[in-house]
């Protein structure tokens, strides 16, 4: 079986953890991480992961900051089966149509509303209802603890 090709959009606190978790999965392959920052976070990622720029402006900024950029977010999406969007609240909702247009399944972080994907995932409560979906959002850690 071929591993699931996964990209991560947003390499902050959550994105770093998601990328590291993907690297540990035998049935997944991390294609790369995308972001807009040019600081130490993305520089540390560039030392060990393929980095993509989420916007054209970010690509120029990363280049100017000495970060090796593998391509654009669209180029990352072209190589992925699924994207995990860990960008700040409301940013992921704006990205969802881009993911759908690329034919890539999407997992959004808990800052987005349930209505964004029509599904909120909690493994202990509704794993089966997530099967076969094109998108879902993972609820916050606080919500998970309540479930």
* 22-57 residue pLDDT tens: 999 999 999 999 999 999 999 999 999 999 999 999
What pTM value is reported for the model? 0.92
Dihedral sign (CA 39, 42, 47, 50): negative
pLDDT of residue 97: 95
C-alpha 79/C-alpha 28 separation (Å) is 13
Identified catalytic residue from 1, 24, 131, 141: 141
Could you tell me the domains of the chain?
Answer: 4-146 (3.40.50.720)
The yes-or-no answer on residue 80 being catalytic is: no
Count, in order, helices (H) and strands (E) of the chain. 8, 8
For residue 145, pLDDT beyond 60: no
Query: Which of 65-69, 103-107, 119-123 comes out lowest in average pLDDT?
Result: 119-123
In 3-state terms, what secondary structure has residue 23?
helix
């Amino acid at each position: 079986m071929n591993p699931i090709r996964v990209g991560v959009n947003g390499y902050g606190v959550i994105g770093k953890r998601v990328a590291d978790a993907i690297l540990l999965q035998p049935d997944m392959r991390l294609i790369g991480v995308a972001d807009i920052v040019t600081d130490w976070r993305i520089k540390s990622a560039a030392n060990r992961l393929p980095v993509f720029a989420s916007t054209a402006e970010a690509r120029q900024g990363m280049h100017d900051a000495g970060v090796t950029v593998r391509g654009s977010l669209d180029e990352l999406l072209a190589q992925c089966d699924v994207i995990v969007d860990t960008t700040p609240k409301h940013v992921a909702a704006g990205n969802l149509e881009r993911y759908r247009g690329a034919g890539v399944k999407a997992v959004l972080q808990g800052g987005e509303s349930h209505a964004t994907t029509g599904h909120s995932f909690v493994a202990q409560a509704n794993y089966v209802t997530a099967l076969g979906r094109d998108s879902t959002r993972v609820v916050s850690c606080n919500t998970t603890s309540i479930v």
